[in-house]
Amino acid sequence: MPEIAKFVNGGAASITPAIAEKVLRQLPQWKLEFTQINAPKFPHLVDQLEFLADAVEDSIEGAYKDLPYAAVGQAVFALIYAHKKMGVIPDSILELGRADDSSVVRAVLIQNEKAFATYAGSQGVDWRQITSQA
């Protein structure tokens, strides 16, 4: 996980408020795309992406003001990464194509566990379902 965390942190460092706002405008379409992900080896990925998208929306729109901006930046990076079709492992590779997306998302959730768990609780979301620990 340390290498993935470094990758996420480096990518998140380039996320500006302007990029976050651009992603916010694209999130409705991306959420629909994410629901179409067929990744049986990563059964929690779609729920995790939806959770991060909701957290980004609520934070940027001001509906939830307690999420640290570092967590928002990492979430935005993870959403951008998952949206792209070409990553470290191209999505077109059967069974493994979403492994990198899942790793990036998990790194964001793990690094910001306390903040996202608090957010989940405020939204009535079972954090254990998001982290796949249920």
Residue 56 reports pLDDT greater than 60:
yes
pLDDT on residue 77: 96
The total number of residues written for the chain in this structure:
134
Neighbours of 100 (CB within 10 A): 19
Query: Could you tell me the pLDDT band of residue 41, with boundaries at 50, 70 and 90?
Result: confident
- Average pLDDT on 26-55 reads 91
Percentage of residues in the chain with pLDDT exceeding 70?
87
Measured over the CA atoms of residue 38, residue 43, residue 47 and residue 49, the dihedral's sign is negative
C-beta separation of 92 from 56 below 8 A: no
Amino acid at 15: I
- pLDDT of 134 strictly over 50: no
Looking at the predicted structure, is the pLDDT value of residue 62 above 70? yes
Place of tokens 């990518």: 11
pLDDT at 80: 94
Domains of the chain: which residue ranges? Answer: 2-130
d(C-alpha 82, C-alpha 87), whole Å? 8
